[in-house]
Structure 1
Amino acid sequence: MALVAEQGIPKEGCIPVAVGFWSPFVEGTFPNYTGPVFELFKVIQQKLGFCYELKMNVYWGIELPNGTWTGMMGMLQRKEAEVAIGPIGVTYDRYNAAEFSSPIFMTDQTILYLRPRLEPDLMGFVKPFTLLVWLGVLASTILVTIMALVVVKTTPDRLSKRFHNTITNFAQPAYEVTTPSPTIHALEDASQESSRTSARVATPPHEKNNSSSLFLWSFMILVGQGLVIKLNRSETLRTIVALWFMTTFILGSVYKGNLKAMLIAPKVKIPFDSLEELVAQHDTKWSFPKNSIIHSFLEASYNEDPTSARGKAWQYKSHIMSHPNELDENLRKGIAGLFARTSSLNYIARTFSMTGSCGYSVARKGFMTVIYSMGFTKGSPLLPKFNRLITSMTELGVMEKILSPMYINVSHCLQPQDTELSMTLRPLAIGDFLGIFSLFGIGAATSVVFFILEIIVNFRFPK
Structure 2
Amino acid sequence: MVEEMARAFWFTLTYDEIPPDGAWGEFTNGTWRGMVGLVYRRERSFTINNFGINRERFGAVDFSFLYATDGYSFTLRTPPPLPRWLSLIYPFQWTVWTALLATILLMAPLFAIVVGREIPYHQRSTATLTNTSKKLKKIGRCIMKGTFPACLKHIVYNHSIISTMIYECETRKLAEAMQKMLSNVQKATERTMWLAALVISTSYMGNLIAFITVPAQAQKLRTLSQLAESDHGIHMLEYGDYVPGALRTSKDPILKALGDKIEMVYSYDDGIDGMLRNTHALLEGSMYLRYLLTDRKIKNIYYLEEELFSNYIGWLFPKGTAWKYKMDKALHSFTEMGLVSHWYQETMDDFRRSKGLQGRGDEGHDQRMRTLNMQDLQGHFMALGIGFLVSLGVFLLEKVLHQCT
- 1:346 maps onto 2:291 in alignment: yes
The structure where helix makes up a greater share of residues is 2
Q: 1:322 to 1:117 in 2, by over 3 A?
A: same
- Give the corresponding residue for 2:110: 147
Alignment match, 1:94: 56
Matched, 1:322 2:266: yes
What are the superposed Cα offsets for residues 127-156 of structure 1, whole Å, 9 maximum, x if unpaired? 212222222212222222342466589754
Q: Per-residue displacement from partner, 1:335-390 (whole Å, max 9, x unpaired)?
A: 43222232234346556xx79xx65443454342223344456x4x5x333x2342
Alignment of 1:50-449 (within 5 A): 56-64=20-28, 68-73=31-36, 79=41, 81=43, 85=47, 87=49, 89-95=51-57, 98-103=60-65, 105-109=67-71, 110-115=73-78, 118-121=81-84, 123-148=86-111, 151=114, 156=119, 234-235=182-183, 236-237=185-186, 239-269=188-218, 271-282=220-231, 284-291=232-239, 293=241, 296-308=242-254, 310-317=255-262, 319-324=263-268, 326=270, 328-334=272-278, 335-347=280-292, 350=295, 359-375=300-316, 379=319, 383-385=321-323, 387-395=324-332, 397=334, 400=340, 406-409=347-350, 412-414=359-361, 421-425=367-371, 427-429=373-375, 433=378, 437=382
Choose 1 or 2 for highest CA Rg: 2
Q: Distance in 2 between matches of 1:303 and 1:343?
A: 25
Per the TM alignment, residue 119 of structure 1 is displaced from its structure 2 partner at its CA by: 4.3
Contact 2:237 2:264 in 1 (8 A): yes
Q: 1:147 to 1:438 in 2, by over 3 A?
A: closer
Secondary structure of 1:255 counterpart: helix
Query: Whole-Å Cα distance in 2 between the matches of residues 428 and 59 of structure 1?
Result: 53
Question: Which deviates more from structure 2 when the two are superposed, residues 328-337 or residues 407-416?
Answer: 407-416
User: Deviation of residue 322 (structure 1)?
Assistant: 2.0
SS in 1 for 2:322: helix
Displacement, 1:99?
Answer: 0.7
In structure 2, relative to structure 1, the CA distance for the partners of 1:44 and 1:361 (3 Å cut) is farther
Contact 2:87 2:212 in 1 (8 A): no
Distance in 1, matches of 2:100 and 2:15, equals 80
Residue 151 of structure 2 corresponds to none
TM superposition shift of 1:98: 1.8
Identity of aligned residues (%): 12
Q: Does the 8 Å CA contact 1:290/1:320 hold for their aligned counterparts?
A: yes
Aligned with 2:283: secondary structure?
Answer: strand
What amino acid is aligned across from residue 307 of structure 2 in structure 1? Answer: G
Contact 1:83 1:374 in 2 (8 A): no
2:289 counterpart letter in structure 1: S
CA 371–238 in structure 1, closer or farther in 2 if over 3 Å, else same: closer
Shift of 1:422: 0.7
TM-score by length of 1: 0.53
2:300 and 2:13 map into 1 onto residues whose CA distance is: 43
Deviation at 1:240, TM superposition (A): 3.4
Structure 1 contact 125–436 (Cα < 8 Å) conserved: no
Cα distance 1:242–1:101, how it changes in 2: closer, same or farther (>3 A)?
A: closer
| Structure 1 residue 264, shift from structure 2 partner | 2.3
Check the 8 A contact 1:125/1:259 in 2, yes or no: yes
Shift of 1:280: 4.3
Q: Deviations over 1:219-243 (max 9, x none)?
A: xxxxxxxxxxxxx985244543454
Where does structure 1 lack aligned partners over 5 or more consecutive residues? Answer: 1-35, 161-231, 452-463
- Count of residues paired in the alignment: 326
Could you say what secondary structure the match of 2:68 adopts? strand
Q: How far is 1:126 from its partner?
A: 1.4
Letter in 2 for 1:323: S
Q: Which has the higher contact order (CA 8 A, sep 6+)?
A: 2
Distance 1:106 1:321 in 2: 28
Letter in 2 for 1:120: P
Distance 1:322 1:253 in 2: 56
Amino acid at match of 2:21: N
Hey, what's the Cα distance between the residues in 1 that align with 2:21 and 2:308? 27
Q: Which moved more, 1:147-156 or 1:297-306?
A: 147-156
The answer as to whether partners of 1:101 and 1:375 remain within 8 angstroms in 2 is: yes
Q: Answer with 322-331 or 146-155: which moved more.
A: 146-155
CA distance in 1, matches of 2:105, 2:345: 65
User: SS state of the match for residue 70, structure 2?
Assistant: strand
Give me the whole-angstrom Cα distance separating, in 1, the residues matched to 2:14 and 2:100: 81
Whether the aligned pair in 2 keeps the contact of 1:123 and 1:435 (CA below 8 Å) is: no
| Inter-partner Cα distance in structure 2 for 1:124 and 1:421 | 16
Would the aligned equivalents of 1:105 and 1:373 in 2 still touch at CA under 8 Å? yes
